[in-house]
């Protein structure tokens, strides 16, 4: 699977069946090329303007299944949320 295919998949949290968004970036281990985390943007600051206020940094071990259209994760949202200023 290529990164462009992964970016087209919606991330859904299994704990609360909440839609987190779409994958925008990944962090890789440069030694072995494996994915460490996927990054999903959170909500915007003011009606879609002025950039993104939060993002979800989800460890790869928290991914349950990568399907044809979605990526299922099992995370506590407060633990993976990163505030962007």
Per the CB < 8 A criterion, the answer to whether 41 and 61 are in contact is no
Tell me what pLDDT residue 10 has: 94
Q: Please tell me the distance from the alpha carbon of residue 51 to that of residue 28, in angstroms, as a whole number.
A: 25
51: left (phi over 0), alpha (psi -120 to 50) or beta: left
Average of pLDDT values for 43-53? 57
Q: Could you tell me the fold of the domain covering 3-83?
A: SH3 type barrels. (2.30.30)
Tell me the Cα Rg of the chain. 13
H helix and E strand count, the chain = 2, 10
SS3 42: coil
Q: What residue ranges do the domains of the chain occupy?
A: 3-83
Name the pTM for this structure.
0.82
């Amino acid at each position: 699977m290529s990164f462009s295919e992964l970016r087209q998949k919606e991330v859904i949290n299994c704990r609360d069946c909440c839609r987190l968004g779409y994958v925008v970036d990944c962090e890789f281990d440069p030694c072995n090329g494996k994915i460490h985390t996927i990054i999903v943007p959170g909500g915007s600051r003011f009606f879609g303007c002025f950039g993104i206020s939060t993002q979800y940094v989800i460890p790869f071990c928290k991914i349950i299944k990568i399907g044809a259209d979605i990526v299922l994760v099992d995370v506590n949202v407060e633990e993976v949320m990163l505030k962007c200023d």
